Chains A and B, each alone.
Chain A
Amino acid sequence: MYLFNTEIVCNQKLSPNIFRLRLKATKDFCREAAPGKFVMLGTDDSLFDPLLRRPFGICRWGEDWFEVVIKIVGKGSCQLSRLESGGAVAIHGPLGNGYPKDQLESVQKPLFLVAGGMGIASIASHIFSALDSKQSLAGTFLFYGAASYSELILRNELTAATAIGLHIHTITDDGSCGRQGLVTQLLATELQNQPQGRVFACGPEPMLKSVQNVLQKVGSEGYISLENRMACGFGVCLGCVQTVLSEDSKSGVETAKVCTQGPVFPAQEVVF
């Protein structure tokens, strides 16, 4: 992981409140980037408001740049979303474990990627990584749900991956694009047909709980990426912890740091 100051290459508005920022990065940083990893991103450290850096998934990267997709939910995301080309940012990353590479790339079983809302930023990192390194995504299904049509972002880029084998199913809460309903309904149907599939999911907590239930019912394996609030991102504040199952502890559970032991966990180990 690295600490450096850098600048915005470009900022593109993807929806009224979602922005894609491309940032310059060092080659070392880009070599360590991997699907599911994240960065702590800050603006001018001397202003102290916002004080802490904010965690964002590394959505796509090249040799000397990477992209994050930011939805405005508060002060920090709002300030970052307003940065223009040349704007200064401070980076700490890549952080976190990312999706297990061997599981992602094993071609034996179908791969089900499940994204809810901004969870697409994390899930898409695998799709773009395959696209950019010219790997096949045959047998990979993306189930992507959002509140409405305008929040279904990155549609063109994701569609480009159908050329390397990706199957895409979208669904919206209000029915304004694709089917109407929840993304876990799509997953449940498909998993019943192919219970040997491996599942990777990122999205809001209620969605992840529901993915956990679906997996349990079918007896399939999967991984979920959590987005707990973080102060440090590197394991020292204990602000981000999640209760997980543990064989070592008497109570059968323990706390895990989402920033360093996650953000990706085996789905069945997380206790919501």
Chain B
Amino acid sequence: MVDLKVEIAPGVILKNPVLTASGTFGYGREYAPYFDISKLGAIITKGLSLQPKTGNPGVRITETACGMLNAIGLENIGVERFLADELPILRKLKAVVIVNIFGNNQSDYAALAAKLDGIAGITALEINISCPNVKAGGIQFGTDPQAAAKLVAAVRKETSLPLITKLSPNVSDIVAVAKAVEEAGSDSLSLINTLLGMAIDLDQKRPILGNVTGGLSGPAIKPVALRMVYQVAQAVSIPVIGIGGIVSARDALEFLLAGATAIEVGTASFINPQTASKIVEGIENYLDDQGCDRITDFIGSLEKNPI
């Protein structure tokens, strides 16, 4: 049987490369009735801020061709309630927990990192510098390599937890941002967050989303995500985690070929809550059929010559 273990940051070895994308897996326990969430590589929580946040008013989701737009606005229960009410449940469920964080400014991020440092049951932090739905939600950091690097360095100072920086695709040169945050001390990178989009109700002549614009996710964005993961994986020497439109084991394996060490399942978990666990099984079966002994042999093994 193929060895699925991957190292997503120095010293952080996961039992398999399947993680869940922030904002699509609740706080984790909501999925426990559907499968054993400890079987996943790790679960990544909904983005947490220092204070609870109520999110955006109006319509928050709308479907588009092979995808969906969301403008949730980072609604979350805040870090205190997460630590008091949710983390203990996740520990009981034996889930490997990565906490996704965001703030209004650099000191919010630093304070969150300090608060979560040394807390038992947290394996790593994912820093969201890429939410397109709120002005303060990281995007001002995620689109500028220097600002991104400064933020990561500030967070780095406050915690010994491994840091994964989550990158925005809404930039002209994602490689420049990736290199800057690697330099600043990020242990790995995850990409992509949603692509900024919009939907219009023709007959009413009005934008559909309460926030007017929203983040596009789902199969529609997979080619963009794959291209960015491919480019970034070649340019940096830290692990890259691929995200964007993954709905099947075959999708996940394509990201691994392109150089991703692990992947995150997002929107697909809304359609069928068991998707992530099915992807673990599917990856295992595929690699067993290929006679592959270690998934690490498969990662980045894309042939140079196009078909």
- Residues in chain B near residue A238, CB distance under 8 A: 23, 46, 55, 60, 72, 75
A239 touches B72 (CB 8 A): yes
Contact of B66 among A51, A241, A243, A255 (CB under 8 A): A51
Cβ-neighbour of B270 out of A229, A236, A243, A254 (below 8 A):
A236
Contacts of A236 in B (CB 8 A): 24-26, 30-31, 269-270, 273
- What is the minimal beta-carbon distance from B20 to any residue of chain A, in angstroms? 10
Cβ-defined contact, A231 with B270, below 8 A: yes
- Looking at chain B's contact residues, the main secondary structure is loop
In the complex, A266 has a CB within 8 A of chain B: no
Check: B54 CB closer than 8 A to any chain A CB.
yes
A53 at the interface (CB under 8 A from B): yes
Bound together, the chains give a CA A52 to CA B31 distance in angstroms of 17
B65 contacts partner chain A, Cβ-Cβ < 8 Å = yes
**Complex Cα spacing A237 to B267, Å:** 9
- Asked if residues B30 and A235 are in contact (CB atoms below 8 Å), the reply is yes
Q: How far apart sit A53 and B271, CA to CA, in the bound complex (Å)?
A: 6
Q: Which residues of B contact A49 (CB under 8 A)?
A: 65-66
The 8 Å CB contact of A48, one of B57, B60, B66, is B66
A1 at the interface (CB under 8 A from B): yes
Q: Is B33 in the interface zone, CB < 8 Å from A?
A: yes
How would residues 188 to 230 of chain B score, 1 for a CB under 8 Å from any chain A CB and 0 otherwise?
0000000000000000000000000000001100000000000
A195 within 8 A of B: no
Is the C-beta of A42 less than 8 angstroms from some C-beta in chain B?
Answer: yes
Q: Which residues of A contact B78 (CB under 8 A)?
A: none
Residue of B31, B59, B60, B271 near A51 (CB, 8 A) is B271
* A247-261 contacts to B (CB < 8 Å): 254-255
Bound Cα distance from A53 to B122, whole angstroms: 33
Task: Report which of A3, A48, A51, A243 forms a contact with B273, defined as CB distance below 8 A.
Answer: A3
Residues 48-79 of chain B, each 1 if its beta carbon lies under 8 Å from chain A, else 0: 00000011010111110111101010010000
**A52 with B68: CB separation less than 8 A:** yes
Number of residue pairs spanning A and B whose beta carbons lie under 8 angstroms apart: 84
Q: What's the Cα separation between A48 and B66 when bound, in Å?
A: 5
- Tell yes or no: B272 within 8 A of A by CB: yes
Give the residues from 249 to 292 in chain B that come closer than 8 angstroms, CB to CB, to chain A.
Answer: 267, 269-274
Chain B: how many interface residues by the 8 Å CB criterion? 34
Complex contact A51–B33 (CB within 8 A): no
Task: Chain B residues near A239: list those with CB within 8 A.
Answer: 60-61, 70, 72
**In the docked arrangement, what's the CA distance between A246 and B273, Å?**
30
* Neighbouring B residues of A76 by C-beta, 8 Å: 63
B218 engages A51 (CB within 8 Å): yes
Number of A residues, CB within 8 Å of B: 29
A147 proximal to B (CB < 8 A) = no
Selected from A42, A90, A237, A243, the residue in CB contact (under 8 A) with B61 is: A237
| Distance of B166 from chain A, by nearest CB (Å) | 18
A45-B271, A45-B272, A51-B63 known; A231+B68 contact, CB < 8 A: yes
The answer to whether B61 touches A229 (Cβ under 8 A) is: yes
Query: Nearest chain A CB to B200's CB is how many angstroms away?
Result: 14
Residue contact A229 to B62, C-beta cutoff 8 Å: yes
Would you call A232 and B270 a contact (CB within 8 A)? yes
Chain B min CB distance to A120 (Å): 24
A50 at the interface (CB under 8 A from B): yes
Complex contact B68–A3 (CB within 8 A): no
Smallest distance from the beta carbon of A40 to chain B beta carbons, Å? 9
Pairwise interchain contact B25-A255, C-beta atoms closer than 8 A: no
Contact assessment for B218 and A3 in the assembled complex, using a CB-CB cutoff below 8 Å: no
Give A51 to B63 CA distance when docked, in angstroms.
7
Give CA–CA (A230, B61) in the complex, Å.
7
Residue among B46, B63, B75, B274 making CB contact with A255, cutoff 8 Å: B75
Task: Name the A residues within 8 Å of B247 (CB-CB).
Answer: 48
Q: How far is the CB of B108 from chain A (nearest CB, A)?
A: 20
Whether A241 pairs with B31 at a CB distance below 8 angstroms is: no
List residues of chain A with CB under 8 Å of any chain B CB.
Answer: 1, 3, 42, 45, 48-53, 75-76, 90, 92, 229-232, 234-241, 243, 254-255
Query: What 6 pairs across the A-B complex have the smallest Cβ distances?
Result: A239-B61, A236-B26, A232-B270, A48-B66, A48-B219, A239-B60
- Besides A51-B67, A229-B59, A231-B61, 4 new A-B residue pairs in contact (Cβ under 8 A), listed by A number: A51-B66, A237-B23, A238-B46, A241-B60
**5 A-B residue contacts at CB 8 Å?**
A51-B271, A229-B62, A232-B273, A237-B70, A238-B46
